Copies of this chain bind each other. A is one copy, B any other.
Amino acid sequence: MIEDKNQQRTQLSDLGEFGLIDHLTENFKIKQSSTIKGIGDDAAVLEFKNKKIVVTTDLLLEGIHFDLSYMPLKHLGYKAIVVNLSDVYAMHANPTQVTVSIAVSNRFPLEALEDLYAGIETAANIYNVDVVGGDTTSSNTGLLISVTAIGEVESNNEVYRNGAKPNDLLVVSGDLGAAYMGLQVLEREKEVYKVNPNSQPDLEPYSYIIERQLKPEARKDIVKLLNDLNVKPTSMIDISDGLSSEIIHLCKQSKVGCDLYEDKIPLDPQVISTCEEFNIDSTTVALNGGEDYELLFTISQDDFLKIKANPNLSIIGHIKEEREGMHLVTRAETRIPIKAQGWKNFND
């Protein structure tokens, strides 16, 4: 769908390793005072003085995590950064640096990597992080991106998964399930395209959910908002695998239970209409869809008034004693145990 047969193609073998890294990162500017030395030595050198740092890493593989038939490379570069920064925000920290390693086969011309790095650069600028290192190698198959993100947090201000207490409120930012439904639309259009390459799909009714899939954002605004409101969550996690999986992580590590109210789960109207079109239950999508990159956190009831009217935040439940278990309270007021969906990649 996105291939342009007339594009310029420079073979990667025309550049050496050093030429390639230099070329792809030459426009990258250092923005953080903690970056003493970025790309260009055996290692980057950073200095954080009295802050703690957080470190997180993710792999993205072609054919597993993304499909280049509908994922533009610039978006992919952007998303690869964002999904890691989301983990930094989930620690109540602010991201400062990333390293980006790629493995790429010869079928990618230099111009494709320039698009990928343009997306990386855009994300680095928007989120104010420095690209301080990485590795570039050839691959026998597809494209792989490995990102490690580093962030800083004032000592004792970090938030773990394990601090939720009974009676805390369970809060989520934004809305859920959109990225998953965006993926369903893109997969459907890919099948249509295979049958009729001249078809011109009207994706306008799906613009929000497709953007959530192709160009997600990490909630840097929430960390700032919570600081401005003087609310420190008791626990926090980002929603990458789906709400139910993240609730289970949070409750298990905090040794608590919870009630989650189905009618409180925030859904965008496009998610609801697209779920109807696909005949999928929207609650199931929100619970198990994944890739939302919203923040799920718990706060003390004392902080209720500070956040209750905020349009970016939804109170979706509350924490209970561990022995009471984790339940979804449905619209019909039945209580269903929340179950892990596990991880499906190895079952493919």
A88 contacts chain B at the CB level, 8 A cutoff? yes
Q: Is the CB of A50 within 8 A of B49?
A: yes
Judging by beta carbons under 8 Å apart, are B41 and A45 in contact?
A: no
Q: A50-77: contact bitstring with B at CB < 8 Å (1 yes, 0 no)?
A: 1011111111010111000000000000
Given contacts A46-B54, A135-B59, contact A64 B343 (CB under 8 A): no
- At the interface with chain B, which of A11-19, A24-32, A174-182, A314-322? A11-19
Please report the C-alpha to C-alpha distance between residue A61 and residue B104 in the assembled complex, in whole angstroms: 11
Tell me, yes or no, whether A144 is within 8 Å of chain B by CB.
Answer: yes
Number of A residues near B (Cβ < 8 Å) is 76
**Which of B20, B48, B64, B135 contacts A138, CB < 8 Å?**
B64
Check if A173 is an interface residue, CB within 8 A of chain B.
no
Q: Is the CB of B343 within 8 A of A17?
A: yes
Q: In the complex, what's the smallest C-beta–C-beta distance from A181 to chain B, in angstroms?
A: 23
Give chain B residues whose Cβ lies under 8 Å from the Cβ of A340.
16, 18
Contact bitstring A303-343, B, C-beta under 8 A = 1, else 0: 00000000000000000000000000000000000001011
Judge whether B90 and A42 touch: CB under 8 Å. Answer: yes
- Among A183-233, those with CB < 8 Å from B are none
CB of B44 within 8 A of CB of A56, answer: yes
Q: Does A238 contact B (CB under 8 A)?
A: yes
Which of A48, A93, A149 counts the most chain B CB atoms within 10 A? A48
Give the chain B neighbours of A133 by CB distance below 8 A.
55-57
Contact of A52 (CB < 8 Å), options: B36, B137, B140, B343 = B36
- The complex is assembled from copies of this chain, and their number is 2
CA distance A47 to B342 in the complex (A): 32
* A247 at interface by CB-CB < 8 Å: no
Judge whether A103 and B59 touch: CB under 8 Å. yes
A151 at the interface (CB under 8 A from B): yes
Given A36-B52, A91-B42: A135 and B57 interface contact (C-beta under 8 Å): yes
Task: Identify which of B47, B50, B58 contacts A155 (C-beta below 8 A).
Answer: B47
Q: Which residues of A contact B (CB under 8 A)?
A: 11-13, 15-18, 20, 36-37, 40-50, 52-59, 61, 63-65, 87-88, 90-91, 93, 97, 99, 101, 103, 106, 132-135, 137-142, 144, 146, 148-151, 153, 155, 158, 160-162, 236-238, 253, 340, 342-343, 345-348
Besides the known contacts A17-B343, A65-B137, 10 further A-B residue pairs in the complex with CB atoms under 8 A apart: A18-B340, A41-B237, A42-B87, A45-B52, A45-B53, A45-B153, A46-B55, A49-B50, A56-B133, A64-B139
